[in-house]
Chain A
């Protein structure tokens, strides 16, 4: 039903952005990929370092460990809030909405600073504990891995909420009604009926959160205090403190390949999810 005449004007409308990104994003990325095989000398030496250099390896391992934990905690927390957000009363929905979306719009720096204010040596928690006489010296609550994890979970929960919410909204009320009609308890309905039906959303949220967490930079840099360095911070250090652009570029390319693989997985699950819900 579409007349052919609309094709070219429509394509012309998309052209400015596509050309802009081709010039300002795709082309320079190829440049970075070129750096990874030419700096400091031509060859795949930088990629060999990715799998042999103990420092690089340990940073990658730490990144995976932290991202795994962060993903697990963030998705679990997000499931709880989304459940109440989607199925709760009007009041509950409004409250949850504020809790999720106000922090979402606030800068990463402000939020990282908030954690410092809360957890640092003279921060609120330590001040109160000392005032109560529970501790003598301040506890080291920040500049360590747990604080990095807390900060990252905080940033990532809202990203998990959206896929979970759309999965929960798609659940057919009549199925739940049928389960109750057949005498299932509330808990049974949740675990045996509701939760399995939202699994595609859980998988989607898990992949999205994991992918986003891999590239985290600001939060770990501030809350980790230079001790638990993650991949993204390593790139930054290699670029600006010990100029080693080739390695930074190689890590970037490796990250893109990893993310592409994970997104491919996500696309596959999304398709399965659509078929699974079979509406």
Chain B
């Protein structure tokens, strides 16, 4: 039982901040129904023109598919690498593992623009070998996204592992299970939810990655955020409003579903 509940002042302040946080998301909705070609509030009539653009303009459709493909690859690779890494760390001595964890978290801590420059260096170098794996290629972008998102997956899986009771693993080992059996039959089933969350997070992060993508693509690998960026920088294209609304709705639904899943009785806190 909490002794000190927030008073009216705290609640009002928190609500104001909450409104501030939701405001820009809500603002997109009316703009997306404008019939005009400019970024304006609809006057009188509502229109779905800009939503139709998303399906009819080949650029939008192509970039949506490309982003989905890259995000899927990134999610599988990054989650796999992160899960393997986290399992290893969980079994290693703590002193030694701190250094390794610090190293793999670097892309999350280093300013994105520095990572972007670093990956630009890498991919232009790889272009010398083959254009299919270097600058402005699907494989290159996937590689860069794996680098940028893998720390988040590592954190997620490590958090999940921290909640596993080590005695279960000890029991399995005591009964003669080898390392593969311990991982497959004992540890992985216990961190399934965490690994799934990591995969989802990586997918979303890759799907919306722009800071690095901007540096490493030019004309071929135009991902959805890259296309949105072009629609935002020069002349604000209301189709960006339509795609934004779609993204907000989809993300919110996924999050609410995840919250509902997580609120199974055994997860309820307090």
Chain A interface (Cβ < 8 Å from any Cβ of B): 2, 6-7, 9-18, 20-21, 24-29, 31-32, 35, 77-78, 80-81, 83-85, 87-89, 92, 95-97, 99-103, 105-118, 120, 122-124, 127, 154, 157, 173, 176-177, 180, 186, 189-190, 194, 211, 214-215, 217-218, 221-222, 231-232, 235-236, 239-240, 248-249, 252, 255-256, 259, 263
Q: Do B100 and A18 touch (CB < 8 A)?
A: yes
Q: Do A88 and B6 touch (CB < 8 A)?
A: yes
Q: Do B110 and A259 touch (CB < 8 A)?
A: yes
CB distance from A158 to the nearest CB of B (A): 8
Q: Do B14 and A218 touch (CB < 8 A)?
A: no
When distances are taken between beta carbons in the complex, the residues of chain A under 8 Å from B118 are 25, 28-29, 31-32, 252
Between A and B, 6 residue pairs with Cβ closer than 8 Å are A17-B154, A84-B14, A106-B25, A109-B210, A113-B28, A186-B7
Q: Do B147 and A25 touch (CB < 8 A)?
A: yes
CA distance A27 to B87 in the complex (A): 25
Q: Do B248 and A25 touch (CB < 8 A)?
A: no
Nearest neighbor of B208 in chain A, beta-carbon distance: A107
Q: Do A25 and B121 touch (CB < 8 A)?
A: no
CB distance from B257 to the nearest CB of A (A): 12
CA distance A123 to B30 in the complex (A): 10
Q: Do A28 and B89 touch (CB < 8 A)?
A: no
Nearest neighbor of A105 in chain B, beta-carbon distance: B251
CB distance from B105 to the nearest CB of A (A): 10
CA distance A123 to B39 in the complex (A): 7
Q: Do A32 and B24 touch (CB < 8 A)?
A: no
Q: How many residues of B contact A (CB 8 A)?
A: 90
Nearest neighbor of B244 in chain A, beta-carbon distance: A110
CA distance A213 to B135 in the complex (A): 27
Q: Do A127 and B41 touch (CB < 8 A)?
A: yes
CA distance A14 to B115 in the complex (A): 22
Partner of A157, one of B17, B39, B117: B17
Interface residues of B in 232-258 (CB under 8 A from A): 232-233, 236, 240-241, 244, 247-248, 251-252, 254-255
When distances are taken between beta carbons in the complex, the residues of chain B under 8 Å from A112 are 232
Nearest neighbor of A245 in chain B, beta-carbon distance: B117
CB distance from A148 to the nearest CB of B (A): 14
When distances are taken between beta carbons in the complex, the residues of chain B under 8 Å from A115 are 24, 27
Q: Do A217 and B112 touch (CB < 8 A)?
A: yes
Q: Do A154 and B21 touch (CB < 8 A)?
A: yes
Q: Do A117 and B103 touch (CB < 8 A)?
A: no
CA distance A183 to B87 in the complex (A): 51
When distances are taken between beta carbons in the complex, the residues of chain A under 8 Å from B109 are 211, 259, 263
